[in-house]
């Protein structure tokens, strides 16, 4: 369902596009790639690039995180193609500090400690958050199959991350009844709420 139509006349002033893609590699690892592009529909003055024409990227950054099935970062490639100042590119090597981090609770804090503030690039750090979500989505089914086969399965981390997946709701009652909570659990018919 789309957003409601605007009630007042508007003029576009900024567009940020973030794209993320996840790939399974032939060696069993996964490449999670993302791009962040900022444009404006009008010319933007710039002290280092002269005037930036309308529609030309002000920011154009790309990241590739290579991760394993445990969501551990094995390799990083960062590129800053379009930047307002060439100095921005000097922090790109700092993103190698992410190698070895695991995408688990506390990951965002760990990223900021490694490449936040004056040690990194605000836009690349923002892109890492989107890539972490894309990594989770890319690996979810394979990780779920592995966990389901384990006799010592832990409570799925996805439980209680949103309203639909709350532990006292019908989706968890049906999918993982052993982790369901609550006084009354209504199980939806097949095909609903999944």
Same domain? For 165 and 72 the reply is no
Same domain? For 118 and 160 the reply is no
Distance from C-alpha of 140 to C-alpha of 113, rounded to nearest angstrom: 27
Whether 191 has a pLDDT exceeding 70, the answer reads no
Q: What is the pLDDT of residues 104-150, one digit of tens each?
A: 989 999 999 999 999 999 999 999 999 999 999 999 988 888 887 77
Give pLDDT, residue 190.
60
Q: Which domain holds residue 165?
A: 155-189
Give pLDDT, residue 147.
80
Read off the pTM: 0.84
Q: Which of 156, 162, 152 is nearest to 140 (CA)?
A: 156
Same domain? For 127 and 79 the reply is yes
Residue 6 lies in a domain: no
Percentage of residues of the chain with pLDDT beyond 70:
94
User: Which is more confidently placed, 151 or 186?
Assistant: 151
Q: How confident is the model over 20-44, as a mean pLDDT?
A: 98
Residue 89 lies in a domain: yes
Distance from C-alpha of 190 to C-alpha of 105, rounded to nearest angstrom: 32
Torsion of Cα atoms, 86 then 88 then 89 then 92, to 10°: 180
Residue 10 lies in a domain: no
Residue 20 lies in a domain: yes
Same domain? For 59 and 139 the reply is yes
Whether 39 has a pLDDT exceeding 80, the answer reads yes
Residue 163 lies in a domain: yes
How many residues are present in the chain? Answer: 194
The DSSP H or E segment spanning 140 is helix 122-149
The pLDDT confidence band at residue 54, using thresholds 50, 70 and 90, is: very high
Q: How confident is the model over 86-106, as a mean pLDDT?
A: 95
Number of domains composing the chain: 2
């Amino acid at each position: 369902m789309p957003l409601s139509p605007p009630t007042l006349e508007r003029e576009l002033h900024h567009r940020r596009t973030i794209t993320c893609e996840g790939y399974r590699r032939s060696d069993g690892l996964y490449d999670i790639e993302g791009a962040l592009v900022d444009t404006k529909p009008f010319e933007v003055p710039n002290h280092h690039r002269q005037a930036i024409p309308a529609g030309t990227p002000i920011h154009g950054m790309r990241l590739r995180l290579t991760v394993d099935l445990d969501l551990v970062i094995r390799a990083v490639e960062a590129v800053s193609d379009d930047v307002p100042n060439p100095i921005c590119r000097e922090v790109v090597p700092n993103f190698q500090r992410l190698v070895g981090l695991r995408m688990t609770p506390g990951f965002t804090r760990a990223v900021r400690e490694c490449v936040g503030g004056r040690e990194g690039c605000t836009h690349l750090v923002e892109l890492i958050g989107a890539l972490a979500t894309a990594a989770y989505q890319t690996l979810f089914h394979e990780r779920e199959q592995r966990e389901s086969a384990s006799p010592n399965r832990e409570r799925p981390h996805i439980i209680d991350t949103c309203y639909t997946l709350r532990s006292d709701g019908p989706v968890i009652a049906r999918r993982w009844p052993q982790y369901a909570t609550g006084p009354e659990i209504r199980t939806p018919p097949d095909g609903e709420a999944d």
